[in-house]
Structure 1
Amino acid sequence: MIRCKRVYLEAEACDGQRVLVDRLWPRGLAKDALACDVWLPDVAPSTALRKGFGHRAHAFADFRAAYRHELASHPEHWQRLLHWAAGGTLTLLYAARDEVHNNARVLAEFLEEELLRRDTPSSAVCYQGEFDAG
């Protein structure tokens, strides 16, 4: 299960693996004050993409598409997250005020799709010959 949560909310036992997925450290939060297992700034949108989006809801569709493209181009940045999500609860931490239009939501959606793709059996062509009576 993949959850998204603002960094300013209390950590809960049900959060599982807590990962900060922002490129910048959250404002006003000391590094030792955040209950976070790991910070992965490289999985966050590039600086240019983040600045272009500027947390404007009307620009979210374009941001979402561009960020998904960045993610698809760099699986090395999110493979660890996929592994954690497959093994239990993964909570993606973000600092944005908007709880709907943010990078963590896009990342969670992307990872969920990757998990489904991983669990979907291959086509029948891949199994050709395995079921033939010999």
Structure 2
Amino acid sequence: MTKPHYSWQSAEGNRVDHAIPQMKADGMRAIGTATAADYVLAWNLDASDRWLTRELRVQVESFDWSRSLTLQRHASGAWSSAVSATGSPDLPAANVLEDVPRPAVHGRLAGAPVAEVVVIKPV
């Protein structure tokens, strides 16, 4: 059986994204990629528990640097994160949990409309 597969290009035309969602009655999981001229990004979203984000993993690779981020929402509602980086990208420091509103129930990935389903679907 073929799973739905979605592809789109950024409005600026400098990035191409792909996503494969797995929809269920009480949530979803999805995997995806984004490719640009100087990086490749892969992500994995688990919102399979009553549409609440349980985990969001993102890995970005470039020629001279890489970054990864894992956000996890625990049963208590508390979030934890793991961040790693190599090289010296011209980007802000990766420090995510200081900016997470309390209580937060969803992880969002900018530029990935499939990941926005977890915010829209339960409403």
Q: Which has the higher strand share?
A: 2
| Structure of larger gyration radius | 1
Higher helix share: 1
Q: Which has the higher contact order (CA 8 A, sep 6+)?
A: 1
- What TM-score results when the alignment is normalised by the length of structure 1? 0.26
Q: TM-score, normalised by structure 2?
A: 0.28
